[in-house]
Amino acid sequence: MKELFYVELPTPDTDAVCTWLQQEWQPERGKKIITRDGIRLQFEGVTSSNQNPTAATETIPEISVFLWSVQRTTYLKAFRWAVESIRGEHQILQQLERSLRSQFPYQYPEPPAVDLSKQSIFEALAAYYPQTVHFFQKMPNGEYDLNRVYWWEKQWREGVRNPQKPKQVIFSQKGKSGDGENLPEHPSYDLIYIGGALGVIHAAVMARLGYRVLLIERLPFGRMNREWNISRDEFQSLIELGLFTSAEFESLIAREYVDGFNKFFDGNNPPHLKAAVLHTPTVLNVALDSEKLLQLCSEKLRKAGGEIWDETEFIRADIHPNQVVVELQHLPSQAHRQARGHLLVDAMGTASPIAWQLNGGRAFDSVCPTVGAVVAKGFERGVWDSDYGDVLYSHGDVSRGRQLIWELFPGAGEELTIYLFHYHQVNPRNPGSLLEMYEDFFTILPEYRRCDMEKLVWKKPTFGYIPGHFSVGSRDRIVAFDRLVSVGDAASLQSPLVFTGFGSLIRNLYRLTNLLDTALRHNLLSAQDLNQIRAYQSNVSVTWLFSKGMMVPTGRHLPPQRLNSMLNTFFGLLADEPPVVADNFIKDRADWFTFNRLALKAAGRNPALLPWIWELAGSKDIFRWLGSYFNFTAYALVSWLLRGWFPSFIRRIQPWVENRYPALWLRLLAQSYAITAGLGRPERVKIKEVQVTSETLNELPRPQ
């Protein structure tokens, strides 16, 4: 027996495929015999290509074709039952594949138009996403949250399909007649943040430095679409910044794990491409109580004099020479609101219309559509040990053009936070669907972890689009405009492997805070100056090729096991390395020598890896990646030459340079971070907590 053929058919209707195969498809040769799960093709009297006629009569050569379903996807395999190859078998299988692709092509369904004045979101979507509607109805605030999922998907699709003509929301008033003549000379705020999840962390730090801060949030403040996991050493930066004490951090921990697992399905991989479980005990091993963290940040923000306007939607911003004016709408009352500040900070995440406007056709190069839920209880004892987490896991091959990957993080008590996501190319025909992913999630969760779905107690959904930008250099993405700067997911700040925007922001928070504080104190608020306030890492930019290699191009059919083979090659190498290597790699701290050593080792273990990546990425992106690699190499060389003395040197000359040439100081400071934090080696600097009073506010240097 030998396997001849393995294909993925992008349909959950396995019965329809089986019926078509048994009743409609006619092979060019061979006798078709119907079986329970497919067909057999019998070739009585047909000799094998190298077989003599006498031997051919001893057995009847056959090709067995059968189907099965997993991950709401149909898979088909064909095996030869013969000692040697059957004459014409290749042509028969080619004919079968052509017919299958024609009969069962890729489908990219659109969400239906919804008029909530005539029907509820449940009524509107029930016929299209029955499992999703059924289980959202079991969740507290399920109707509100499903409306949010639908809104997010519509926003994302609109941005993907109209990238060259994004909605204009930033308007420059510089040089216009009468500009600013009716505005007060001094704005009410120094910083206006739009977006209250990651935004409130950054806003709280800046408020504690003495700045007047306003935070705008579209949702009721504290509502989260995701839970947050981090490690102790990463969270330490928030303690060093003075935002939290060690005791407060301990109070935020919902669960701390003994270990985290990384494993990809290898049932269809050849032996040399199977991999051991990669253990990462210090990666995402601390589950935080995200709602408590947000509330604590809001308390610290308000205590420092900051304000929060929640349930308020951003409409537009007018950039004047001396301030930015933000137009807003309070959603419950539909009342118009306005705020004026020295600087606007975009923390709206992937749906940010500001990010789409600034970057046009290249707002993002990739995305992870991510869905999931927090389950309060309901799993049987023994299904999962809450001392452990699943960091990255797959339980099947490519599914309807996506390699689905699970994450599982236990929380307090019996809670489990479970995510399902896939790496996805941004494509107008196939933007990526949260609703389709949710239908998958609620259908295949029992395949991943044994459970009775009706017994699970749902706490809340978790979802979002996590973007990726394939940077060639530090200036490859626009993150600023005059009096405007982007942070977090709006700046495409995330890890290419695990796509954790929260962890990436925390790891770079001191760098961003110090640069922003410097710019504000010296009124360096032009686009040229603010574009230096970014968390670009050359060692991260070079790893985008890994995430590119986990995406199935729209409309392409790959061998279903291909992506798992690639993942097992790389994660198998990390499993063979000392734990610190995997820890550094996943936390964006890999150095040039480690990267090159692992790349060469991977090519040696799996020589097909490079052709596979070329096939997936294409020549254009391969050459773009070479630019990233040469840039990484240049940064590594400069860092090797300067890291030992340059940062300390500029700190010594800071008083003289900063007082006389503040713009030069900002540039030097940004370059210092580029050769340290920009290569995954963040500087550890203790910042003393600022006790903000009316007197200290008046004493702080103010932008003019």
- For the chain, report the end-to-end CA distance as a whole number of angstroms: 80
pLDDT at 112 over 60: yes
Identify which of 208, 212, 210, 257 has the alpha carbon closest to the alpha carbon of residue 232: 257
The amino acid at 256: E
Alpha carbons 65 and 6: distance in angstroms, whole number: 10
Indicate the pLDDT class of residue 688, thresholds 50, 70 and 90. very low
pLDDT of residue 503: 76
Query: Rounded to whole angstroms, how far apart are CA atoms 89 and 78?
Result: 11
Q: Is residue 97 assigned to a domain?
A: yes
As for how many domains the chain has, the answer is 1
> Distance between CA atoms of 659 and 663, rounded to whole angstroms?
10
pLDDT of residue 463: 93
Q: How many CB atoms lie within 10 A of CB 51?
A: 19
In terms of DSSP bridges, do strands 388-393 and 416-421 run parallel, antiparallel, or are they unpaired? unpaired
498 contacts 409 by C-beta, under 8 angstroms: no
Q: In the Cβ-directed half-sphere of 231, how many Cα atoms lie within 13 Å?
A: 18
* Pairwise CA distance, residues 315 & 335, whole Å: 12
3-state secondary structure of 105: coil
- pLDDT tens for 175-219 read 664 555 667 767 889 999 998 888 899 999 999 999 999 999 988
Asked if 663 contacts 522 with a C-beta cutoff of 8 angstroms, the reply is yes
Euclidean distance between CA atoms 42 and 32, whole angstroms: 7
Q: Which of 613, 551, 559, 569 is nearest to 402 (CA)?
A: 551
Containing structural domain, residue 55: 2-103
- Look up the CATH number of the domain holding residue 12: 3.30.310
Going through 289-429 in order, the beta strands assigned E by DSSP cover 307-309, 312-319, 324-330, 335-346, 366-377, 388-393, 405-410, 416-421, 424-425
Best CA proximity match to 418, nearest among 380, 379, 454: 379
Residue 40 lies in a domain: yes
Q: What is the DSSP string of 649-698?
A: HHHHHHHHHHHH-HHHHHHHHHHHHHTTGGGT-------PPP---HHHHH
CA dist., res. 460 & res. 374, Å (int):
5
Crossing angle (nearest 10°) for helices 592-605 and 562-576: 120
- pLDDT reading at 685 higher than 80: no
Residue from 335, 345, 341, 307 nearest 183 by CA: 341
User: What are phi and psi for residue 449, nearest 5 degrees?
Assistant: -135, 125
Using alpha carbons, select from 84, 121, 90 the residue that is nearest to residue 28: 90
Q: Which of 270, 666, 228 is nearest to 480 (CA)?
A: 666
Nearest to 222 by CA among 338, 111, 301: 301
Residue 62 structure tokens: 């056959």
Model pLDDT, residue 693: 37
Q: Is residue 81 part of a domain?
A: yes
CA angle in degrees (0–180, nearest 5) for 114-107-161: 60
Tokens of 648: 């300390």
Residue type, 526: S
| Cα angle for residues 117, 195, 239 (degrees, 5° grid) | 145
Helix (H, G, I), strand (E, B) or coil at 642: helix
Residue 230 clears pLDDT 70, i.e. is over it: yes
- Average pLDDT over the chain, rounded to whole? 88
pLDDT of 686 reads 47
How would you classify the pairing of strands 424-425 and 366-377?
Answer: antiparallel
Structure confidence by residue, pLDDT tens digits, 499-543: 556 777 888 888 899 999 999 999 999 999 999 888 778 888 788
Residues 37, 25: Cα–Cα separation, whole Å: 15
From the list 283, 455, 434, the residue with the least C-alpha distance to 372 is: 434
Does residue 657 sit within a domain?
A: no
* Strands (DSSP E) found in 10-85: 31-35, 38-42, 62-70, 73-81
Specify which residues 521 forms β-bridges with: none
In whole angstroms, what is the distance from residue 343 CA to residue 323 CA? Answer: 7
Model confidence band, residue 694 (pLDDT cutoffs 50, 70, 90): very low
pLDDT above 90 covers a percentage of the chain that reads 64
Angle at 299 between CA 297 and CA 303, to 5 degrees: 120
Residue-level pLDDT at 700:
39
Residue 92 lies in a domain: yes
* Residue 496 per-residue DSSP state: T
pTM of the model: 0.88
Residue 24 domain flag: yes
pLDDT tens for each residue of 259-315: 999 999 999 999 999 999 999 999 999 999 988 999 999 999 999 999 999 999 999
Residues 6 or more apart from 367 whose CB is under 8 A from it? 156, 350, 424, 426, 432, 465, 466, 467, 468
Confirm whether 93 is domain-assigned: yes
Percent of the chain at pLDDT exceeding 70: 90
Closest C-alpha among 78, 70, 59, 73 to residue 21: 78
Q: How far apart are CA 395 and CA 8, in angstroms?
A: 15
CA distances from 494 to 319, 349, 628 (A): 28, 11, 16
Across 138-142, 332-336, 614-618, 692-696, least confident range: 692-696
Round to whole Å and give the CA distance between 129 and 120. Answer: 14
Question: Model confidence over 604-639: pLDDT tens digits?
Answer: 999 999 899 988 888 888 888 898 899 999 999 999
3-state secondary structure of 493: coil
**What integer pLDDT is reported at residue 696 of this predicted model?**
36
Exposed, middle or buried: residue 361 (CB in 10 Å: 0-12, 13-18, 19+)? exposed
Decide if 60 is inside a domain: yes
Q: What per-residue confidence (pLDDT) applies to 612? A: 92
* pLDDT per position as a tens digit, 113-147: 999 989 999 999 999 999 999 999 999 999 999 99
pLDDT of residue 28: 87
Token representation of residue 9: 């058919």
Beta bridge partners of 189: 341
Q: What gap in Å lies between CA 292 and CA 647, rounded to an integer?
A: 37
